[in-house]
Structures are given as structure tokens and as C-alpha cells.
Amino acid sequence: MEFRDKQAIYLQIVEYVCEQILLGNWQTGNKILSIRELAVYMEVTPNTIQRTYDFLQQKQIITNRRGVGYFLEEEGMQRVLAYRRELFLENELPLMFRNMHLLKIGAEEVNRRFEEYINQNYKDK
Amino acid sequence: MIKISNLSFGYSNKKLLYSDLSLDIKGGNIYGLLGKNGAGKSTLLKNISGTLFPKKGKVIVNGSIPQRRKPSFLNTVYFISEDVTLPPLTLRKYLDLFSVFYPNFNADELNIFLKELAVSVPTKLSALSFGQQKKFSIAFALACNTQILLMDEPTNGLDIPSKAQFRQLIASVMTDDRIIIISTHQTRDLENLIDQVIIVDDGQLLLNESVDSITEKLIFETVSTPPNDKRILYAEKHLKGVSLVRENTSGEDTRINLENLFNGVTSKPQLAKEIFTSNTK
């Protein structure tokens, strides 16, 4: 995985795990990669993955069954959605609003383009 | 656990390389040992492995004094030097001679590691190229399963795919009680592998902090204009703006940049010390 410059690595890996869950690659009730396996895959120290998994546990997205491994929580998917929505609304949306303001793009135009985009990309099948 | 107390060391009596250096190294961590050329990184590793002896002060490794070179100590430590030269021996002979010193040596693991690092063993080990010899030594060292693993510039001489393999291997062998110390100039190679950073310069220990506490105390970022109300440890101009290492006052969690950290800590050791000892949160 190519890491970006600014954000802490463990949080970038949190994002990676969340994407795997949203994409359905990691599924509810299934065992997920162990700390060591993910560390090897990401080429990072296992302590970083420990931090990633601690964070995801705290968000109740994954759970640790002692001696067995880590599993995706029943409500994992909904919690990933809630967590990522919160991040989007807090961090990405204000940036977009700022640019909309600077470039004088109104909400109506954004709304129209948003619907077009959804129609083109997600509705034609 | 490695405890270095008030270590003084010099290759000649007139000029000391280290004076009064104290340092604690704890299990379950991968340490990155950073220093300029001639700062004494290898010397420090050799004082831990018992190949060099302190002039003053003490080195204690899990209760043993390396200088005494007891077998019970030596079989828990493996040191890979920067320049490795393998003898003109067959693999079998090499293992007969050297693996016997390490009770946890595992031949199956050696084969796996050699395969992962893409080393195919010729009749005589000395026929391997420098890079291949280096990789062989790394594979052998890991297969010895010593609790302490000291590596001097392990990625020097490795090609690009081998560097990735090296990172994967280290991540796979790390355990809660192992201590791995890697001295390096190639900070980019190992940046995400390191738990704890040690910086030595001019015979002094300038920093021994976990990456977590470093990113708690410092922010690593690129900005268009540096803020003038924050303490700045390091700034470097380039095309995209100014790369900064500055005091963290907002609790933001950024990604460490070892090279900039090293440049900052060695150019402003006093400021680094102030930032790391202050409790502004």
C-alpha cells in the first residue's frame, strides 16, 4: 500500500480496513487478518497494526476473541458507515464548501451534478 | 532488556567517542538507531554484543554483562555487521559450524527466509554477490531466533524488491519479547517499521523516544508559510512548500518523517530536549 505523507500510518491503515469492510471484502462474523499478517502485508511494525486494531475495537468495528483472533462485529458495517460519515462531514465537506464559495458554485449546481453522477455510475445496471 | 549506564567508550584513550551515555532498551520493540557517519552507531551495537568493551560504565543485557561473553548470553544475541563476507564453505558445513551456537536455530525457517529473499545457494557461499551474501546473513540471523537482533545498515546493498521483503520478514518475526535494533542511514526504507527512535551525535544520546510519543510532541507537515507562533525544530524549503517539524500543540496525529526528525534533532538538540521534556498538552 502506498502511504500518504501527512496522516499517521495507523490511521491510514484504519481507513484501509474500513474500505475493505465497505467493499464487502471483509465480512461480518468472519475472522480478519491477524496483527502479524496485516503487518507483513503493509510492511510496518506489528505495534502499528496493534494501534489500528485498538482503534477499531474502540469504535466497536472489530472485536478480539481471546486466543482465536479478530472478528468483524455484527454491527461492524453500520459502524464503519457512521464513522466514515462523521469524518466526511467534519473534514471533507468543509473543504468542498470552501472551494464552492471561492469558485462561486451554488448548491443547486452541485445537486444537479450529484444526481447526474449517481445516475451515470450507480443506477444504469 | 538492555541497560546502558554511564557508558564511556573510545578507540583511543585520548579521544572518547561516547562519554557518560545512558540508555534503556525494552523488549517488544524495533529500534531505529540513527546517527551521522562516525557518530558511533556500530560501536554502540558492538558494546551491546560484547565485541567491544566499555572504558567506563556498564552494559547489562538481560542481567548478563556482554564483556564476560558467557555462552548463555552469546546464544541470545545475533549481530549482523554492515560488511559481511561469507567463507568459502558449503551451506551444510556453514550450518554445522555456526548454527550449533544458537539453540533456537530453525533450518526450515532458514529455507523459507532464503526463498523469500530470493537467494539461491551455490555450492560455496563465498560465490554469492555482496547483496546476496547480505541477504543470506539476514536469513541466517533471523533463523537463529535470538531474543536480541542487532543489525548494522541491513538494507545497504539490497535491491529494491529485497528491501520490501526485508520489511515483511522483520514484521513477521517480531514478538513481544524480542529486541531488534537497526542502525541505518536509509531512513525511508525503514520508516514504518520502527517503534522507537534512538539518535546519537557527538558522543551524546540526543533522543530515545517511541514513534507514538514523537508524534504526540511533534507535527510533521508541509505548509506554504511556516507559523511564527510555534516552536520549529526543522524547516526545509522545496517545490511544494516548506517541510516542517514543529511542536505539536493541537494533539493532531501526523506521520513521522525520520529524515526531517533526524535533521531537526541534530541541528537543534537543545530545543528538541525542551520539547520532549515539557508537558504541554
Identity of the residue numbered B237: K
CATH 2.60.40.10 fits A9-76, yes or no: no
DSSP H helices in B102-148: 107-116, 130-143
The answer to whether the Cβ–Cβ distance between A43 and B171 falls below 8 Å is yes
Whether residue B172 sits in one domain with residue B128? yes
pTM of the model: 0.89
Whether residue B227 sits in one domain with residue B197? no
Name the β-bridge partners of B181: B31, B150
Instruction: With cut-offs at 50, 70 and 90, classify the pLDDT of residue A124.
Output: low
Whether residue B176 sits in one domain with residue B48? yes
pLDDT at B173 over 80: yes
Phi, psi (deg, nearest 5) at residue B119: -105, 120
DSSP category for residue A91: I
Whether residue B83 sits in one domain with residue B215? no
Residue B56: C-alpha distances to residues B6, B8, B65, B68 (Å): 7, 5, 13, 15
- Domain closes at, from B202, B234, B250: B202
Residue B249 C-alpha cell reads as 500543540
- Residues A107 and A115: their CA atoms lie apart, in Å, by 12
Q: Using CA atoms of B133, B11, B70, B79 in order, give the dihedral in degrees to the nearest 10.
A: -20
Residue A42 C-alpha cell reads as 503493509
What residues contact residue B154 under an 8 Å CB cut-off, 6+ apart?
B80, B134, B138, B166, B182, B184
pLDDT digits over B113-135, tens only? Answer: 999 999 999 999 999 999 999 99
Whether residue B195 sits in one domain with residue B264? no
pLDDT at B279 over 70: no
CB-based contact B67:B231 (threshold 8 Å): no
On average, the pLDDT of chain A sits at 91
Residue A101 C-alpha cell reads as 464559495
Q: Answer whether A42 touches B (CB < 8 Å).
A: yes
Q: Using CA atoms of B28, B192, B172, A29 in order, give the dihedral in degrees to the nearest 10.
A: 100
CB-based contact B167:B190 (threshold 8 Å): yes
Whether residue B255 sits in one domain with residue B174? no
Whether residue B174 sits in one domain with residue B228? no
Whether residue B142 sits in one domain with residue B220? no
What CATH number should be reported for the domain holding residue B49?
A: 3.40.50.300
On average, the pLDDT of chain B sits at 93
pLDDT at B281 over 50: no
The answer to whether the Cβ–Cβ distance between B192 and A7 falls below 8 Å is no
Q: Which residues of B touch A5 (CB under 8 A)?
A: 222, 255, 257
The tally of domains found in chain B comes to: 2
pLDDT at B280 over 70: no
pLDDT at A106 over 60: yes
ipTM of the predicted structure?
0.86
In a 10 Å sphere around its CB, with 0-12 CB exposed, 13-18 middle and 19+ buried, how is residue B111 labelled? Answer: middle
Whether residue B116 sits in one domain with residue B148? yes
| Nearest CB to B255; choose among A7, A39, A45 | A7
| Nearest CB to A44; choose among B192, B221, B254 | B192
Whether residue B218 sits in one domain with residue B191? no
Whether residue B20 sits in one domain with residue B93? yes
- Domain closes at, from B148, B181, B202: B202
Instruction: With cut-offs at 50, 70 and 90, classify the pLDDT of residue B18.
Output: very high
Give the sign of the dihedral formed by CA B145, CA B151, CA B156, CA B157: negative
Averaged pLDDT, A66-83 = 92
pLDDT at A119 over 60: yes
- The pLDDT score that the predictor gives to residue A5 is 76
- Residues B74 and B177: their CA atoms lie apart, in Å, by 17
pLDDT digits over B216-260, tens only? Answer: 999 999 998 888 888 999 999 988 889 999 999 988 999 999 999
The answer to whether the Cβ–Cβ distance between A45 and B172 falls below 8 Å is no
Q: Quote the domain boundaries for residue B67.
A: 2-202
Q: How are beta strands A62-65 and B179-183 bridged, if at all?
A: unpaired
Whether residue B171 sits in one domain with residue B94? yes
Identity of the residue numbered B262: F
Q: Answer whether B220 touches A (CB < 8 Å).
A: yes
Length of chain B: 281
Q: How are beta strands B77-80 and B148-152 bridged, if at all?
A: parallel
Q: Which residues of A touch B194 (CB under 8 A)?
A: 45
| Domain boundaries, given as residue ranges, for chain A | 9-76, 88-122
